[in-house]
Protein backbone atom coordinates (compact mmCIF):
# COMPACT_ATOMS: atom_id res chain seq x y z
CA UNK A 1 0.00 0.00 0.00
CA UNK A 2 1.33 3.45 -0.93
CA UNK A 3 2.17 5.73 1.98
CA UNK A 4 1.14 9.28 1.17
CA UNK A 5 2.85 12.39 2.44
CA UNK A 6 -0.13 13.09 4.71
CA UNK A 7 0.79 9.98 6.72
CA UNK A 8 4.08 11.51 7.75
CA UNK A 9 4.63 13.50 10.96
CA UNK A 10 2.61 16.72 10.90
CA UNK A 11 4.73 18.77 13.28
CA UNK A 12 8.30 19.98 13.09
CA UNK A 13 10.53 21.35 10.37
CA UNK A 14 9.73 20.47 6.77
CA UNK A 15 12.16 20.45 3.86
CA UNK A 16 12.26 20.69 0.09
CA UNK A 17 14.49 18.91 -2.40
CA UNK A 18 15.49 20.41 -5.72
CA UNK A 19 17.17 18.25 -8.38
CA UNK A 20 19.09 19.78 -11.27
CA UNK A 21 20.34 17.66 -14.18
CA UNK A 22 22.84 19.71 -16.12
CA UNK A 23 25.04 18.81 -19.05
CA UNK A 24 27.76 17.18 -16.97
CA UNK A 25 26.22 16.28 -13.63
CA UNK A 26 23.11 15.60 -11.59
CA UNK A 27 22.82 17.61 -8.38
CA UNK A 28 20.37 17.65 -5.51
CA UNK A 29 19.88 20.24 -2.79
CA UNK A 30 17.98 20.12 0.50
CA UNK A 31 16.32 23.43 1.45
CA UNK A 32 14.32 24.64 4.40
CA UNK A 33 11.14 26.66 3.90
CA UNK A 34 13.11 29.92 4.14
CA UNK A 35 15.10 29.05 1.02
CA UNK A 36 18.31 28.15 2.87
CA UNK A 37 20.21 25.21 1.39
CA UNK A 38 21.31 22.77 4.07
CA UNK A 39 23.30 20.34 1.95
CA UNK A 40 23.80 19.12 -1.60
CA UNK A 41 24.88 16.01 -3.46
CA UNK A 42 26.38 15.58 -6.90
CA UNK A 43 27.15 12.82 -9.39
CA UNK A 44 28.84 13.25 -12.76
CA UNK A 45 27.12 11.97 -15.89
CA UNK A 46 28.67 10.85 -19.17
CA UNK A 47 28.58 12.73 -22.47
CA UNK A 48 29.05 10.56 -25.55
CA UNK A 49 30.41 12.54 -28.50
CA UNK A 50 30.78 11.44 -32.09
CA UNK A 51 31.44 13.04 -35.47
CA UNK A 52 28.73 15.11 -37.07
CA UNK A 53 27.90 17.16 -33.97
CA UNK A 54 26.44 14.10 -32.22
CA UNK A 55 26.17 14.37 -28.42
CA UNK A 56 24.27 11.71 -26.48
CA UNK A 57 23.54 10.57 -22.93
CA UNK A 58 21.89 7.70 -21.06
CA UNK A 59 18.61 8.14 -19.18
CA UNK A 60 19.42 5.06 -17.08
CA UNK A 61 22.71 6.59 -15.95
CA UNK A 62 21.06 9.95 -15.31
CA UNK A 63 18.34 8.44 -13.12
CA UNK A 64 20.95 6.50 -11.14
CA UNK A 65 22.95 9.71 -10.69
CA UNK A 66 19.83 11.57 -9.53
CA UNK A 67 19.07 8.89 -6.93
CA UNK A 68 22.64 8.91 -5.61
CA UNK A 69 22.72 12.72 -5.44
CA UNK A 70 19.43 12.86 -3.53
CA UNK A 71 20.55 10.22 -1.06
CA UNK A 72 23.85 12.04 -0.51
CA UNK A 73 22.14 15.41 0.02
CA UNK A 74 19.66 14.00 2.53
CA UNK A 75 22.37 12.14 4.42
CA UNK A 76 24.68 15.17 4.52
CA UNK A 77 21.85 17.42 5.70
CA UNK A 78 21.12 14.94 8.46
CA UNK A 79 17.36 15.26 8.05
CA UNK A 80 14.65 12.66 8.44
CA UNK A 81 13.44 11.76 4.91
CA UNK A 82 9.91 11.67 6.35
CA UNK A 83 10.19 15.44 6.76
CA UNK A 84 10.62 16.08 3.02
CA UNK A 85 7.55 18.05 1.96
CA UNK A 86 8.10 18.05 -1.80
CA UNK A 87 10.48 17.40 -4.67
CA UNK A 88 11.08 19.29 -7.91
CA UNK A 89 13.17 18.55 -11.00
CA UNK A 90 14.84 20.64 -13.65
CA UNK A 91 16.99 19.42 -16.52
CA UNK A 92 18.59 20.36 -19.80
CA UNK A 93 16.22 20.45 -22.77
CA UNK A 94 17.45 17.12 -24.12
CA UNK A 95 15.33 14.56 -26.01
CA UNK A 96 14.73 11.16 -24.34
CA UNK A 97 13.50 8.33 -26.59
CA UNK A 98 11.86 5.31 -24.94
CA UNK A 99 10.22 2.20 -26.37
CA UNK A 100 7.49 0.01 -24.92
CA UNK A 101 7.54 -0.33 -21.14
CA UNK A 102 10.09 2.48 -20.97
CA UNK A 103 12.87 0.53 -22.70
CA UNK A 104 15.76 2.66 -23.93
CA UNK A 105 16.21 3.01 -27.71
CA UNK A 106 19.47 3.88 -29.53
CA UNK A 107 19.25 7.40 -30.98
CA UNK A 108 22.49 7.33 -32.97
CA UNK A 109 24.85 5.24 -35.07
CA UNK A 110 26.47 3.63 -32.02
CA UNK A 111 23.40 1.35 -31.84
CA UNK A 112 23.83 1.37 -28.06
CA UNK A 113 20.30 1.34 -26.59
CA UNK A 114 21.59 2.91 -23.39
CA UNK A 115 22.42 6.03 -25.41
CA UNK A 116 18.77 7.07 -25.62
CA UNK A 117 19.14 10.85 -25.23
CA UNK A 118 19.93 13.44 -27.90
CA UNK A 119 21.54 16.18 -25.80
CA UNK A 120 20.41 19.79 -26.16
CA UNK A 121 23.77 20.85 -27.63
CA UNK A 122 23.68 18.13 -30.30
CA UNK A 123 23.52 19.87 -33.69
CA UNK A 124 22.82 16.87 -35.94
CA UNK A 125 19.52 18.44 -37.01
CA UNK A 126 20.83 21.69 -38.55
CA UNK A 127 19.56 20.69 -42.00
CA UNK A 128 16.14 19.77 -40.63
CA UNK A 129 15.93 23.08 -38.77
CA UNK A 130 16.81 25.02 -41.92
CA UNK A 131 14.15 23.20 -43.92
CA UNK A 132 11.55 23.84 -41.23
CA UNK A 133 12.48 27.52 -41.16
CA UNK A 134 12.22 27.78 -44.95
CA UNK A 135 8.54 26.83 -44.69
CA UNK A 136 7.83 29.76 -42.39
CA UNK A 137 4.93 28.27 -40.45
CA UNK A 138 2.99 30.56 -38.14
CA UNK A 139 4.16 28.75 -34.98
CA UNK A 140 7.70 29.96 -35.68
CA UNK A 141 6.59 33.44 -34.59
CA UNK A 142 6.79 32.04 -31.06
CA UNK A 143 10.42 30.94 -31.36
CA UNK A 144 11.78 34.28 -32.54
CA UNK A 145 11.02 33.55 -36.21
CA UNK A 146 13.52 30.69 -36.58
CA UNK A 147 13.58 27.28 -34.93
CA UNK A 148 16.89 26.04 -33.54
CA UNK A 149 18.50 22.62 -34.05
CA UNK A 150 18.67 22.53 -30.25
CA UNK A 151 14.87 22.23 -30.15
CA UNK A 152 12.98 18.98 -30.32
CA UNK A 153 10.98 18.98 -33.56
CA UNK A 154 14.09 19.23 -35.78
CA UNK A 155 15.62 16.37 -33.77
CA UNK A 156 12.44 14.30 -34.12
CA UNK A 157 12.50 14.92 -37.87
CA UNK A 158 16.14 13.81 -37.99
CA UNK A 159 15.18 10.60 -36.20
CA UNK A 160 12.34 9.92 -38.60
CA UNK A 161 14.56 10.51 -41.63
CA UNK A 162 17.76 8.81 -40.43
CA UNK A 163 16.56 6.23 -37.90
CA UNK A 164 12.96 5.47 -38.90
CA UNK A 165 12.94 2.14 -37.06
CA UNK A 166 13.73 3.92 -33.79
CA UNK A 167 11.20 6.66 -34.45
CA UNK A 168 8.48 4.10 -35.20
CA UNK A 169 9.36 1.96 -32.19
CA UNK A 170 9.26 4.88 -29.76
CA UNK A 171 6.50 4.77 -27.17
CA UNK A 172 7.28 8.23 -25.73
CA UNK A 173 9.45 11.18 -26.67
CA UNK A 174 10.24 13.13 -23.48
CA UNK A 175 12.00 16.34 -22.68
CA UNK A 176 14.47 15.32 -19.97
CA UNK A 177 12.66 17.14 -17.15
CA UNK A 178 9.40 15.41 -18.10
CA UNK A 179 11.20 12.06 -18.21
CA UNK A 180 12.31 12.63 -14.62
CA UNK A 181 8.79 13.37 -13.37
CA UNK A 182 7.46 10.33 -15.27
CA UNK A 183 10.22 8.12 -13.90
CA UNK A 184 9.48 9.26 -10.36
CA UNK A 185 5.66 9.21 -10.47
CA UNK A 186 4.54 7.23 -13.53
CA UNK A 187 2.60 10.27 -14.78
CA UNK A 188 2.96 11.18 -18.48
CA UNK A 189 2.03 14.84 -17.92
CA UNK A 190 4.31 17.34 -19.62
CA UNK A 191 5.34 20.73 -18.30
CA UNK A 192 4.18 23.91 -19.98
CA UNK A 193 7.80 25.03 -19.73
CA UNK A 194 9.32 22.19 -21.74
CA UNK A 195 6.76 21.74 -24.52
CA UNK A 196 6.17 25.46 -25.05
CA UNK A 197 9.84 26.41 -25.22
CA UNK A 198 11.21 23.43 -27.16
CA UNK A 199 8.34 21.57 -28.86
CA UNK A 200 6.15 24.41 -30.35
CA UNK A 201 3.19 23.86 -28.00
CA UNK A 202 1.04 27.02 -28.00
CA UNK A 203 0.43 27.47 -24.29
CA UNK A 204 -1.53 30.69 -24.72
CA UNK A 205 -4.05 28.70 -26.79
CA UNK A 206 -3.58 25.44 -24.87
CA UNK A 207 -3.01 23.39 -28.01
CA UNK A 208 -0.60 21.82 -30.44
CA UNK A 209 -0.87 22.97 -34.07
CA UNK A 210 -1.44 19.82 -36.17
CA UNK A 211 -0.83 21.73 -39.39
CA UNK A 212 2.75 22.49 -38.38
CA UNK A 213 3.54 18.82 -37.78
CA UNK A 214 1.97 17.80 -41.09
CA UNK A 215 3.86 20.53 -42.92
CA UNK A 216 7.31 19.59 -41.64
CA UNK A 217 6.99 15.82 -42.07
CA UNK A 218 5.92 14.77 -38.58
CA UNK A 219 2.21 14.46 -39.30
CA UNK A 220 2.12 11.01 -37.74
CA UNK A 221 2.44 12.62 -34.30
CA UNK A 222 -0.63 14.74 -34.98
CA UNK A 223 -2.54 11.73 -36.32
CA UNK A 224 -1.84 9.97 -33.01
CA UNK A 225 -3.36 12.96 -31.21
CA UNK A 226 0.10 13.78 -29.84
CA UNK A 227 0.05 10.73 -27.56
CA UNK A 228 3.82 10.32 -27.85
CA UNK A 229 4.77 13.91 -27.06
CA UNK A 230 2.15 15.01 -24.55
CA UNK A 231 -1.62 15.08 -24.22
CA UNK A 232 -1.85 16.54 -20.71
CA UNK A 233 0.12 19.76 -20.28
CA UNK A 234 0.38 21.30 -16.80
CA UNK A 235 2.10 24.35 -15.34
CA UNK A 236 5.44 23.93 -13.54
CA UNK A 237 4.93 22.98 -9.90
CA UNK A 238 1.62 21.21 -10.51
CA UNK A 239 1.50 17.97 -8.49
CA UNK A 240 1.96 15.00 -10.83
CA UNK A 241 0.70 11.49 -10.25
CA UNK A 242 0.26 10.50 -6.62
CA UNK A 243 3.77 11.59 -5.73
CA UNK A 244 6.70 9.19 -5.70
CA UNK A 245 5.91 5.62 -6.67
CA UNK A 246 7.03 2.80 -4.40
CA UNK A 247 9.84 1.94 -6.81
CA UNK A 248 11.12 5.50 -7.21
CA UNK A 249 10.81 6.20 -3.49
CA UNK A 250 12.97 3.19 -2.65
CA UNK A 251 15.59 4.26 -5.22
CA UNK A 252 15.66 7.86 -3.97
CA UNK A 253 15.53 6.98 -0.28
CA UNK A 254 12.37 9.01 0.28
CA UNK A 255 8.83 8.10 1.37
CA UNK A 256 6.40 6.88 -1.27
CA UNK A 257 3.82 9.53 -2.03
CA UNK A 258 6.21 12.46 -1.54
CA UNK A 259 4.71 15.22 -3.75
CA UNK A 260 6.52 15.89 -7.03
CA UNK A 261 6.01 19.08 -9.04
CA UNK A 262 5.93 19.27 -12.83
CA UNK A 263 9.45 20.23 -13.86
CA UNK A 264 11.27 22.87 -15.85
CA UNK A 265 14.22 23.34 -18.16
CA UNK A 266 17.32 24.03 -16.07
CA UNK A 267 17.80 27.63 -17.18
CA UNK A 268 14.16 28.40 -16.42
CA UNK A 269 14.53 26.96 -12.95
CA UNK A 270 17.45 29.35 -12.52
CA UNK A 271 15.07 32.07 -13.64
CA UNK A 272 12.43 31.41 -10.99
CA UNK A 273 15.21 31.06 -8.44
CA UNK A 274 16.39 34.59 -9.21
CA UNK A 275 14.02 36.99 -11.00
CA UNK A 276 11.72 37.45 -8.01
CA UNK A 277 14.38 39.42 -6.12
CA UNK A 278 14.49 43.19 -5.68
CA UNK A 279 11.36 44.12 -7.58
CA UNK A 280 8.89 42.66 -10.01
CA UNK A 281 9.97 39.87 -12.40
CA UNK A 282 9.59 42.05 -15.50
CA UNK A 283 12.31 44.44 -14.32
CA UNK A 284 14.87 41.67 -13.91
CA UNK A 285 16.60 39.71 -16.63
CA UNK A 286 17.51 36.25 -15.39
CA UNK A 287 20.96 35.33 -16.70
CA UNK A 288 22.05 31.72 -16.31
CA UNK A 289 25.78 31.49 -17.07
CA UNK A 290 26.85 27.88 -17.24
CA UNK A 291 28.04 25.61 -20.06
CA UNK A 292 25.71 27.64 -22.24
CA UNK A 293 24.05 30.92 -21.30
CA UNK A 294 20.36 31.74 -21.15
CA UNK A 295 18.61 35.07 -20.76
CA UNK A 296 15.10 35.08 -19.30
CA UNK A 297 12.94 38.17 -19.72
CA UNK A 298 9.38 38.26 -18.37
CA UNK A 299 6.66 40.57 -19.72
CA UNK A 300 2.97 41.03 -18.97
CA UNK A 301 2.05 41.12 -22.67
CA UNK A 302 3.69 39.17 -25.53
CA UNK A 303 6.71 40.87 -27.12
CA UNK A 304 8.02 39.50 -30.41
CA UNK A 305 11.79 39.89 -30.73
CA UNK A 306 13.40 38.65 -33.97
CA UNK A 307 16.07 36.06 -33.21
CA UNK A 308 15.03 35.65 -29.55
CA UNK A 309 12.98 32.59 -28.60
CA UNK A 310 9.41 33.21 -27.55
CA UNK A 311 7.25 34.87 -26.52
CA UNK A 312 6.22 31.83 -24.47
CA UNK A 313 3.18 31.99 -22.22
CA UNK A 314 3.51 30.66 -18.64
CA UNK A 315 6.78 28.92 -19.50
CA UNK A 316 8.60 30.31 -16.47
CA UNK A 317 6.54 32.69 -14.31
CA UNK A 318 2.91 31.52 -14.51
CA UNK A 319 0.67 34.05 -16.25
CA UNK A 320 3.58 35.99 -17.75
CA UNK A 321 5.23 35.83 -21.16
CA UNK A 322 8.86 34.82 -21.53
CA UNK A 323 11.52 35.78 -24.07
CA UNK A 324 14.55 33.49 -23.99
CA UNK A 325 17.92 34.28 -25.49
CA UNK A 326 21.51 33.43 -24.67
CA UNK A 327 24.29 31.52 -26.41
CA UNK A 328 24.81 27.83 -27.13
CA UNK A 329 28.32 28.01 -25.69
CA UNK A 330 29.30 30.34 -22.84
CA UNK A 331 31.29 28.67 -20.07
CA UNK A 332 32.13 26.02 -22.68
CA UNK A 333 33.25 28.78 -25.05
CA UNK A 334 35.70 30.17 -22.47
CA UNK A 335 37.03 26.66 -21.88
CA UNK A 336 37.49 26.15 -25.63
CA UNK A 337 39.17 29.54 -26.03
CA UNK A 338 41.69 28.92 -23.27
CA UNK A 339 42.54 25.45 -24.56
CA UNK A 340 44.11 26.94 -27.70
CA UNK A 341 46.71 28.99 -25.82
CA UNK A 342 50.29 27.64 -25.51
CA UNK A 343 50.30 28.36 -21.76
CA UNK A 344 47.07 26.49 -21.02
CA UNK A 345 48.81 23.28 -19.98
CA UNK A 346 51.29 25.04 -17.72
CA UNK A 347 48.56 27.13 -16.11
CA UNK A 348 46.40 24.08 -15.51
CA UNK A 349 49.26 22.38 -13.68
CA UNK A 350 49.83 25.48 -11.57
CA UNK A 351 46.13 25.52 -10.68
CA UNK A 352 46.20 21.84 -9.72
CA UNK A 353 49.25 22.37 -7.52
CA UNK A 354 47.24 24.98 -5.62
CA UNK A 355 44.22 22.72 -5.32
CA UNK A 356 42.30 24.98 -7.66
CA UNK A 357 40.91 25.11 -11.21
CA UNK A 358 42.11 27.05 -14.24
CA UNK A 359 39.27 29.65 -14.13
CA UNK A 360 39.92 30.27 -10.42
CA UNK A 361 43.65 30.73 -11.06
CA UNK A 362 43.09 33.13 -13.94
CA UNK A 363 40.44 35.07 -12.02
CA UNK A 364 42.76 35.49 -9.05
CA UNK A 365 45.68 36.54 -11.27
CA UNK A 366 43.57 39.04 -13.20
CA UNK A 367 42.18 40.59 -10.01
CA UNK A 368 45.65 40.91 -8.52
CA UNK A 369 47.19 42.38 -11.67
CA UNK A 370 44.38 44.86 -12.33
CA UNK A 371 44.09 46.16 -8.77
CA UNK A 372 40.30 46.38 -9.03
CA UNK A 373 37.56 44.30 -10.63
CA UNK A 374 36.52 46.90 -13.20
CA UNK A 375 40.10 47.71 -14.17
CA UNK A 376 40.58 44.12 -15.38
CA UNK A 377 39.25 45.13 -18.80
CA UNK A 378 42.53 46.93 -19.41
CA UNK A 379 44.34 43.58 -19.27
CA UNK A 380 42.65 42.57 -22.52
CA UNK A 381 44.63 45.26 -24.38
CA UNK A 382 43.87 44.87 -28.09
CA UNK A 383 42.58 41.32 -27.81
CA UNK A 384 38.99 40.90 -29.00
CA UNK A 385 36.88 37.75 -28.89
CA UNK A 386 33.51 36.92 -30.44
CA UNK A 387 33.02 33.59 -28.61
CA UNK A 388 30.47 31.99 -30.96
CA UNK A 389 32.12 28.58 -31.16
CA UNK A 390 28.74 26.84 -31.36
CA UNK A 391 26.79 29.43 -33.32
CA UNK A 392 24.76 32.46 -32.29
CA UNK A 393 21.61 31.49 -30.40
CA UNK A 394 20.42 35.10 -30.09
CA UNK A 395 19.76 37.62 -31.46
CA UNK A 396 20.71 36.21 -34.89
CA UNK A 397 19.48 32.60 -34.50
CA UNK A 398 22.46 31.54 -36.60
CA UNK A 399 23.76 28.03 -35.77
CA UNK A 400 26.45 28.37 -38.44
CA UNK A 401 28.16 31.37 -36.82
CA UNK A 402 31.64 30.71 -35.50
CA UNK A 403 34.10 32.38 -33.14
CA UNK A 404 36.47 35.21 -34.01
CA UNK A 405 39.67 36.03 -32.11
CA UNK A 406 41.56 39.17 -33.12
CA UNK A 407 44.80 40.65 -31.80
CA UNK A 408 46.84 37.53 -31.02
CA UNK A 409 50.59 37.92 -30.93
CA UNK A 410 53.53 35.58 -30.31
CA UNK A 411 53.19 35.61 -26.52
CA UNK A 412 53.22 32.17 -24.89
CA UNK A 413 53.13 33.02 -21.17
CA UNK A 414 50.45 32.76 -18.52
CA UNK A 415 50.08 36.54 -18.32
CA UNK A 416 48.94 36.53 -21.93
CA UNK A 417 46.55 33.70 -21.13
CA UNK A 418 45.04 35.93 -18.45
CA UNK A 419 44.56 38.66 -21.08
CA UNK A 420 42.82 36.21 -23.41
CA UNK A 421 40.58 35.08 -20.54
CA UNK A 422 39.49 38.65 -19.85
CA UNK A 423 38.88 39.29 -23.55
CA UNK A 424 36.72 36.16 -23.71
CA UNK A 425 34.66 37.19 -20.69
CA UNK A 426 34.16 40.62 -22.23
CA UNK A 427 32.94 38.91 -25.40
CA UNK A 428 30.37 37.00 -23.35
CA UNK A 429 29.27 40.31 -21.81
CA UNK A 430 28.91 42.03 -25.18
CA UNK A 431 26.79 39.16 -26.48
CA UNK A 432 24.56 39.66 -23.43
CA UNK A 433 24.44 43.42 -24.06
CA UNK A 434 23.42 42.78 -27.66
CA UNK A 435 20.43 40.70 -26.53
CA UNK A 436 19.42 43.33 -23.96
CA UNK A 437 19.59 46.08 -26.59
CA UNK A 438 17.57 44.15 -29.18
CA UNK A 439 14.90 43.26 -26.64
CA UNK A 440 14.65 46.84 -25.41
CA UNK A 441 14.18 48.12 -28.96
CA UNK A 442 11.31 45.63 -29.39
CA UNK A 443 9.56 46.71 -26.19
CA UNK A 444 11.02 44.47 -23.49
CA UNK A 445 13.50 46.60 -21.52
CA UNK A 446 15.07 45.43 -18.26
CA UNK A 447 16.63 47.34 -15.39
CA UNK A 448 18.86 44.69 -13.84
CA UNK A 449 20.56 41.37 -14.57
CA UNK A 450 20.19 38.64 -11.93
CA UNK A 451 22.90 36.03 -12.35
CA UNK A 452 23.11 32.32 -11.63
CA UNK A 453 25.13 29.38 -12.94
CA UNK A 454 28.54 27.98 -12.15
CA UNK A 455 30.46 30.07 -14.68
CA UNK A 456 29.09 33.26 -13.13
CA UNK A 457 30.05 32.64 -9.51
CA UNK A 458 33.15 34.89 -9.40
CA UNK A 459 33.09 38.55 -8.38
CA UNK A 460 35.32 39.41 -11.35
CA UNK A 461 32.96 37.80 -13.84
CA UNK A 462 29.93 39.55 -12.38
CA UNK A 463 31.62 42.95 -12.41
CA UNK A 464 32.84 42.54 -15.99
CA UNK A 465 29.30 41.61 -17.06
CA UNK A 466 27.91 44.68 -15.31
CA UNK A 467 30.49 46.91 -16.97
CA UNK A 468 30.06 45.30 -20.39
CA UNK A 469 26.27 45.61 -20.36
CA UNK A 470 25.88 48.87 -18.46
CA UNK A 471 23.34 47.16 -16.18
CA UNK A 472 23.61 46.35 -12.46
CA UNK A 473 24.26 42.64 -11.91
CA UNK A 474 22.59 41.13 -8.84
CA UNK A 475 23.62 37.94 -7.08
CA UNK A 476 21.17 36.11 -4.87
CA UNK A 477 21.66 34.88 -1.33
CA UNK A 478 21.17 31.34 -2.53
CA UNK A 479 24.45 29.89 -3.70
CA UNK A 480 22.49 27.49 -5.90
CA UNK A 481 19.57 29.40 -7.46
CA UNK A 482 18.94 26.69 -10.08
CA UNK A 483 18.53 24.08 -7.36
CA UNK A 484 16.38 26.56 -5.44
CA UNK A 485 14.20 26.99 -8.52
CA UNK A 486 13.67 23.24 -8.68
CA UNK A 487 12.89 23.17 -4.96
CA UNK A 488 10.31 25.93 -5.51
CA UNK A 489 8.45 23.52 -7.83
CA UNK A 490 8.37 20.96 -5.02
CA UNK A 491 7.17 23.60 -2.58
CA UNK A 492 4.14 24.37 -4.74
CA UNK A 493 3.36 20.70 -5.40
CA UNK A 494 3.37 20.05 -1.64
CA UNK A 495 1.15 23.02 -0.83
CA UNK A 496 3.89 24.73 1.17
CA UNK A 497 3.21 27.79 -1.01
CA UNK A 498 0.05 28.48 -3.00
CA UNK A 499 1.82 29.25 -6.27
CA UNK A 500 5.20 29.80 -7.88
CA UNK A 501 5.01 33.59 -7.54
CA UNK A 502 4.50 33.39 -3.78
CA UNK A 503 7.37 30.95 -3.40
CA UNK A 504 9.69 33.12 -5.52
CA UNK A 505 8.92 36.19 -3.41
CA UNK A 506 9.56 34.32 -0.16
CA UNK A 507 12.59 32.24 -1.05
CA UNK A 508 14.68 34.50 -3.34
CA UNK A 509 16.71 37.38 -1.89
CA UNK A 510 19.46 39.68 -3.15
CA UNK A 511 22.89 39.19 -1.64
CA UNK A 512 25.12 41.58 -3.59
CA UNK A 513 24.83 44.16 -6.36
CA UNK A 514 27.59 44.92 -8.87
CA UNK A 515 27.06 48.43 -10.25
CA UNK A 516 28.39 49.19 -13.75
CA UNK A 517 31.46 51.40 -13.90
CA UNK A 518 31.35 54.84 -15.48
CA UNK A 519 33.98 57.18 -16.93
CA UNK A 520 37.01 55.67 -18.64
CA UNK A 521 36.00 52.08 -17.92
CA UNK A 522 32.57 52.59 -19.49
CA UNK A 523 34.18 54.26 -22.49
CA UNK A 524 36.59 51.35 -22.92
CA UNK A 525 33.71 48.89 -22.97
CA UNK A 526 31.82 51.04 -25.45
CA UNK A 527 34.80 50.90 -27.83
CA UNK A 528 35.20 47.18 -27.35
CA UNK A 529 31.47 46.57 -27.90
CA UNK A 530 31.68 48.43 -31.19
CA UNK A 531 34.67 46.28 -32.19
CA UNK A 532 32.73 43.15 -31.16
CA UNK A 533 29.86 44.06 -33.47
CA UNK A 534 32.18 44.85 -36.38
CA UNK A 535 34.03 41.54 -36.06
CA UNK A 536 30.76 39.66 -35.74
CA UNK A 537 29.35 41.33 -38.86
CA UNK A 538 32.56 40.73 -40.82
CA UNK A 539 32.51 37.05 -39.93
CA UNK A 540 28.98 36.76 -41.30
CA UNK A 541 29.97 38.65 -44.45
CA UNK A 542 32.97 36.48 -45.34
CA UNK A 543 31.47 33.15 -44.34
CA UNK A 544 30.30 30.73 -46.98
CA UNK A 545 27.36 28.84 -45.53
CA UNK A 546 26.91 25.27 -46.75
In the chain, domain spans: 13-265, 274-335+357-401+414-477+516-546
- Within 13 A of 159's CA, how many CA atoms are on the CB side? 25
Rounded distance between C-alpha atoms, residue 114 and residue 260, angstroms: 26
CB proximity list for 8: less than 8 A, separation 6 or greater: 82, 83, 255
CB proximity list for 117: less than 8 A, separation 6 or greater: 56, 57, 58, 59, 62, 94, 95, 96, 97, 107, 176
Q: In CATH terms, are 13-265 and 274-335+357-401+414-477+516-546 the same topology?
A: yes
3-state secondary structure of 395: coil
Distances (CA, A) of 456 to 40, 166, 424: 19, 39, 13
- Within 13 A of 375's CA, how many CA atoms are on the CB side? 8
- For the domain 274-335+357-401+414-477+516-546, what is the CATH code? 3.30.420.40
pLDDT at site 320? 93
pLDDT at site 5? 36
CATH 3.30.420.40 fits 13-265, yes or no: yes
pLDDT at site 402? 96
- Within 13 A of 452's CA, how many CA atoms are on the CB side? 31
pLDDT at site 7? 44
pLDDT at site 387? 98
pLDDT at site 210? 98
pTM: 0.87
Per-residue pLDDT for the chain (546 aa), expressed as one digit of tens each?
233 333 454 557 999 999 999 999 999 999 999 999 999 999 999 999 988 789 999 999 999 999 999 999 999 999 999 999 999 999 999 999 999 999 999 999 999 999 999 999 999 999 999 999 999 999 999 998 999 999 999 999 999 999 999 999 999 999 999 999 999 999 999 999 999 999 999 999 999 999 999 999 999 999 999 999 999 999 999 999 999 999 999 999 999 999 999 999 999 998 999 888 766 788 999 999 988 999 999 999 999 999 999 999 999 988 999 999 999 999 999 999 999 999 999 999 999 999 999 999 999 999 999 999 999 999 998 999 999 999 999 999 999 999 999 999 999 999 999 999 999 999 999 999 999 999 999 999 999 999 988 889 899 999 999 999 999 999 988 889 899 999 999 999 999 999 998 899 888 888 899 999 999 999 999 999 999 999 999 999 999 765
- Within 13 A of 219's CA, how many CA atoms are on the CB side? 4
Spell out where 145-197 has E strands: 172-175, 190-191
The distance from CA 290 to its chain's CA centroid, rounded to whole angstroms, is: 8
Amino acid sequence: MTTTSSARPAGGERYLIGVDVGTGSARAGVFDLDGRMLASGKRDITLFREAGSIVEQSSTEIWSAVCAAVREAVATAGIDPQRVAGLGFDATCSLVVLGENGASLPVGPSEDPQRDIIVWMDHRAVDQAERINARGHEVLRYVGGRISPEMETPKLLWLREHRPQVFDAAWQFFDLADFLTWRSTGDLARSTCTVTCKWTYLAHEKRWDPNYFHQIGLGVLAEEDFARIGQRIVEPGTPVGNGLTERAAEELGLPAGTPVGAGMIDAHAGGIGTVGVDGTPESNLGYVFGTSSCTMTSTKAPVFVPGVWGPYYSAMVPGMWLNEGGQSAAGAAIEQLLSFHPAAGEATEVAKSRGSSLPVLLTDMATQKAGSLSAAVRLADDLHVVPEFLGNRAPFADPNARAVVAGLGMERDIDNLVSLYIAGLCGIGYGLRQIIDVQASSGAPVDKVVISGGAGQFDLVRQLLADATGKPVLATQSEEPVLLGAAILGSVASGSFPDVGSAMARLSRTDRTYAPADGEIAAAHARRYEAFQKLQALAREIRQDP
